[in-house]
A = this chain, B = another copy of it.
Amino acid sequence: MPRISAERMQDREDSLLAAAREVFACKGYEAAAVSDVARVAGVSDGLVYRYFGSKRDLLLAVLDSFYSRIIDDLERAVSLSASFEQRVATLVHKHVERFVDDMALCRLFIVEVRNFDEYVGSETHELNRRYTSILMRILADGRAEGRVAGDIDDRLVRDMMFGGIEHVAWRHILAGHPIDVERVAGQITRLLLGGISTSRAS
């Protein structure tokens, strides 16, 4: 017979998640201690392990909840755009904005999770796919509309876009000067859509 209701358990899990997000974002995964998370959440160390199997699980849960949130947000924004070019522009804009707003969590994902063996096949991986699949659908639709050059591999575009934006955002963040999201996103969009060359490229 449970002493606390399911509702209460959910609240606890949420507050632990929030605490973990804060602590991991602030100190990074390695430097964060489970007891930091417990303290911030206002519970005992031991209780953390009733809700999450390990420190690693906690990290993944933080990132998964982050992804759930941003996927919905991105989908909603993209759905409001009319043309292919607008949808790309919106996605680029939102993604750049994501780096600006949630730098620490993006970094957490890039540095602590994405590169590890366990990543492939994980829930986090699946969520990342769902996030990027929003672009894949835009590209498929754009191709159907004849807006995408025929010899382009969509996965390549996806990687170039997300990889590129990651670097651009990082450069600004490391350099310490704030990103003018509007301008940067506009430039990236133009580059992606139109390329570097003055003439049609080979």
Interface residues of A (CB under 8 A from B): 28, 30, 85, 88-89, 107, 110-111, 114-115, 119-120, 139, 142, 146-149, 151-153, 155-168, 170-171, 174-175, 184, 187-198, 200-202
Contacts and interface: CB of A to CB of B under 8 A. Distances in A.
**Copies held by the complex:** 4
B164 A160 contact: yes
B85 A197 contact: yes
A132 B103 CA distance: 23
A107 B116 CA distance: 11
Q: When A and B form their complex, which 9 residue pairs have the shortest distance between CB atoms, in order from nearest?
A: A194-B201, A163-B167, A195-B195, A193-B201, A160-B164, A159-B167, A163-B163, A194-B195, A163-B164
B85 A201 contact: yes
B174 A159 contact: no
A144 to B, nearest CB: 12
Nearest to A148: B196
Nearest to A160: B164
B196 A149 contact: yes
Contact of A160 (B88, B148, B156, B168): B168
Contacts of A188: 156, 160
9 contacts: A85-B202, A119-B174, A152-B187, A156-B168, A157-B191, A192-B195, A194-B197, A194-B200, A195-B196
Given A30-B30, A85-B201, A159-B171, A196 B152 contact: yes
